[in-house]
Amino acid sequence: MSDRVAAEDVLLFVNAALAATGQREFRASAEEQRLSLDFLHAYVCGNYRPLYAAVLALDVNDHNAALIAERLLRTPGEGGPGEGRLVAARLAVMPPQRVYRLFGALRAAGVNNRRTRAIVRDWLARRPDLAHDAVKYRPGLKAAVRHAHLPVSGELGDFLFAPGRRTRYEHRALEAFRRAHYEQGALYELPFTVAEGFAARHGVAREVFLERMAPRMTRLERLRSRPGTAELGTMPLTRLALYVLSLPFAERAERRAELTGALRAAAARVAGPHAGSWGRVAAVLDDSFSSSGSGVKRRRPLAVALGCRFLLETLAAPGGFTAHWTSGGTDPLLVRPWGATPLGTRILDALDGPAGAPERLVIVSDGWDNAPPGLAGEVLRVWRERLDPGHRTSVVHLNPVYDAELFDVRRLAPGVPTAGIRDAEDLPALVELARFAEGRERLAALRAYLDRRVELFLKEAAR
């Protein structure tokens, strides 16, 4: 029983670390989210620290990865062997702005132990161009080198701590930043986010600025600023789904072939060699009004469902996929957040398809079954107990919304494994992880799974 409780606690935390970002959701404020997450992190770190650290090797979101790293670095004396390597490996794959924010939080908390200083030093040493960071993340870099007592000399040191000392810099980025204060042409040599501020200061027209900055912009920057010119064929699946949902219905219909092809190409990249290997798959996808998300996560739950729809179509055997939207719609490109959530009815449709019950049923929903309330859970209970006790059909519920009151993602039925999900790209790994939530796998199996993930993660980081 103790093993089962421990496994449930760790899985509950993994669900939160996958789905929660501390931001406002449709039914919960940002403060409720943060308080709930803080309690979970403290509880799991205090009771299952080795497993808590191992979660860094999973595809948890960057917000929770940073919180885990911060909590581990606050108390290095309580850590086990290899914990520092795991933290360093995770920071190496996180966006630099997230890492600089983490270093700032450690400085504000007065955390300056030897392990922290070593991790800051090594992470900065691996940065490809610190001068670029000095321009783009100047406050973060400045705070990090001060907090870790790292020596910074030459023109980089002058740029950070004595900017008025030099009248010219040899490094192109530093010199462009200096010149951009009084010369419009210099701002086009800077990173996009830095150049935006100078463009506004100089009164440069937005269209002129975007046109001249285009060669220096990343794909995501082009997508945000000039969607029509984005290279959709290389966009990540969930980002692409968010972009599609941001378009007017008329434009989605007009660009149907282009958008559908891009979504299927992104799904194929995620599926890789597993494409077509899942047999017959049925998906129940939530496009009810709550899938609109919140002001800071607009249409995020719906975008996850849309991305999962195309990924499941790719993973299923040819001709073996069916999709059932809660609204009853059949056109994935024209979905919108609308109406109630008749999950029970759609699950019945999925299980009673023309070809019989599918081999896999995947439900992507926030779990608020309300038309009528509780029908989905009852359908799944009767199906598992009376009609399919042998588990011929595997059922998995993926939930993109963290419930702060439950300290978990909302579940549909006790016997249905549920996992939190942040990006549609994580679906294959989450379906594998969700089997531990069925109660048939003990803590030893979960530990072995996490150990394998840690080993693979550290090997990949070393390469």
Residue 233 is predicted with a pLDDT of: 77
Residue 61 is predicted with a pLDDT of: 94
Residue 152 lies in a domain: no
Kindly report the pTM of this predicted structure.
0.89
Report whether pLDDT(440) > 60.
no
Checking DSSP bridges between strand 402-403 and strand 408-409, what pairing results, if any?
A: antiparallel
Percent of the chain having pLDDT more than 70?
A: 97
Residue whose pair of structure tokens reads 């963290």 in the numeric block: 402
Residues 245, 197: one domain? no
Residue 248 lies in a domain: yes
pLDDT tens by residue, 160-179: 999 888 889 999 999 999 99
Percent of the chain having pLDDT more than 90?
A: 79
Residues 390, 259: one domain? yes
Residue 309 lies in a domain: yes
Residue whose pair of structure tokens reads 């501020």 in the numeric block: 197
Residues 190, 264: one domain? no
Residue whose pair of structure tokens reads 């081999």 in the numeric block: 359
Residues 371, 411: one domain? yes
CA dihedral angle for residue 37, residue 43, residue 46, residue 49, rounded to 10 degrees: -70
Residues 291, 419: one domain? yes
Residue 18 lies in a domain: no
Residues 381, 414: one domain? yes
Residues 264, 384: one domain? yes
pLDDT tens by residue, 346-375: 999 999 887 789 999 999 999 999 889 999
- Sheet (strand 321-325) strand order: 321-325, 281-285, 360-364, 394-399, 418-420
Q: Could you tell me where the DSSP H helices lie in 289-342?
A: 300-315
Structural domain of 201: 170-217
b (16+ CB within 10 A) / e for 82-93: ebbebbbbbbee
Is pLDDT larger for residue 117 or for residue 429? 117
Residue 441 is predicted with a pLDDT of: 54
Looking at residue 193, its amino acid is T
The residue length of the chain stands at: 463
Residue 1 is predicted with a pLDDT of: 59
Residue 428 lies in a domain: yes
Please give the mean pLDDT across all residues of the chain: 92
pLDDT tens by residue, 175-209: 999 999 999 999 999 999 999 999 999 999 999 99
Q: Please give the Cα distance from 305 to 298 (Å, whole number).
A: 13
CATH number at residue 285: 3.40.50.410
Residue 431 is predicted with a pLDDT of: 87
Residue 222 lies in a domain: no
pLDDT tens by residue, 42-56: 999 999 999 999 999
Residues 299, 184: one domain? no
Residue 31 lies in a domain: no
Residues 284, 321: one domain? yes
Residue 228 is predicted with a pLDDT of: 53
Residues 394, 313: one domain? yes
Nearest to 311 by CA among 357, 358, 276: 276
pLDDT tens by residue, 406-420: 999 999 988 889 999
Note whether 288 and 337 are within 8 A (CB). yes
Residue 438 is predicted with a pLDDT of: 61
Report whether pLDDT(229) > 60.
no
Residues 177, 261: one domain? no
Report whether pLDDT(444) > 90.
no
pLDDT bracket for residue 226 (50, 70, 90): low
Residue 219 is predicted with a pLDDT of: 75
Two structure tokens written together for 165: 């000392």
Residue 24, burial from CB neighbour count under 10 angstroms (0-12, 13-18, 19+):
middle
Give the count of domains, the chain.
2
Residue 227 is predicted with a pLDDT of: 55
Q: Please give the Cα distance from 170 to 174 (Å, whole number).
A: 8
Residues 259, 197: one domain? no
Residue 81 is predicted with a pLDDT of: 85
Work out the average pLDDT over 89-103.
96
Two structure tokens written together for 223: 């997508």
Note whether 252 and 243 are within 8 A (CB). no
Report whether pLDDT(121) > 70.
yes
Residue 136 is predicted with a pLDDT of: 95
Residue 317 is predicted with a pLDDT of: 96
Among 217, 248, 279, where does a domain finish?
217
Report whether pLDDT(114) > 80.
yes
Q: Please give the Cα distance from 404 to 142 (Å, whole number).
A: 35
